[in-house]
Amino acid sequence: MASVTLTVGNIEQMLEQPQWHSLLSKALETSIISTLQAKIDCREQVLDQCQKKIEHLVARINLCANDDCPNLPGSYKHGLRKCARCWVVAYCSKSCQITDWSVHKLVCKK
Ligand SMILES: [Zn+2]
Ligand SMILES: [Zn+2]
């Protein structure tokens, strides 16, 4: 594997990749961190920040992606439904998906 200069910016970029989302949904944060450590010479400070980013992404995977969602996690009537176009984000209701679309359409991949 080619060596990379690790910054919070390129970790964020990397974590935006769909394969990371599927990995995140399966794996615990700690195993992701150790994967990162094994593959990349990860400075502690950066690692700390990337852990926060991972926590945020993990939370988003288990939560409705609508930032203004009126429902509490765990109280979703129909569980979470993934965006049918990108399968990266999930919403607890049709109205949340509609509300978030103006933001999500910028990153939604066909
Ligand atoms: Zn919602
Ligand atoms: Zn989408």
- Residue 38 and residue 73 in one domain: no
Phi and psi at 65, nearest 5°, equal: -75, -10
* Spatial separation of the C-alpha atoms in residues 2 and 79, rounded to whole Å: 40
Which bound ligand lies closest to the C-alpha atom of 98? 1
Which residues constitute the domain of residue 96? 64-110
Is the Cβ–Cβ distance between 40 and 4 less than 8 Å? yes
pLDDT of 35 strictly over 70: no
| Contact yes or no for 91/100 (Cβ under 8 A) | yes
User: Which one of 46, 62, 78 terminates a domain?
Assistant: 62
Length of the chain: 110
- Quote the pTM value: 0.47
Summarised one tens digit per residue, pLDDT across range 38-78 is 655 555 666 677 777 766 666 656 788 898 899 887 788 87
Q: Which residues surround ligand 2, an ion (CB under 5 A)?
A: 83, 85-86, 108
Do 5 and 38 have their domain in common? Answer: yes
The pLDDT value given to residue 102:
94
How many angstroms does the Cα of residue 18 sit away from the middle of ligand 1?
21
Least confident window among 21-25, 44-48, 87-91: 21-25
Angle between helix 18-26 and 44-62 (nearest 10): 80
- Give the number of whichever ligand sits closest to the CA of residue 107: 2
Report CA(23)–ligand 2 centroid distance (Å).
18
Q: Are residues 9 and 58 in the same domain?
A: yes
pLDDT at residue 5, as a whole number: 62
Name the domain count of the chain: 2
Same domain (yes/no): 68, 23: no
Say how far apart CA 38 and CA 42 lie, in whole Å: 9
Whether residue 70 is found in the same domain as residue 51: no
Interval between CA 100 and ligand 2 midpoint (Å): 10
71 and 98 fall within a common domain: yes
Q: Are residues 38 and 76 in the same domain?
A: no
Tens of pLDDT, residues 90-100: 899 999 999 99
Starting from the CA of residue 80, give the closest ligand.
1
Query: Can you give the pLDDT at residue 74?
Result: 72
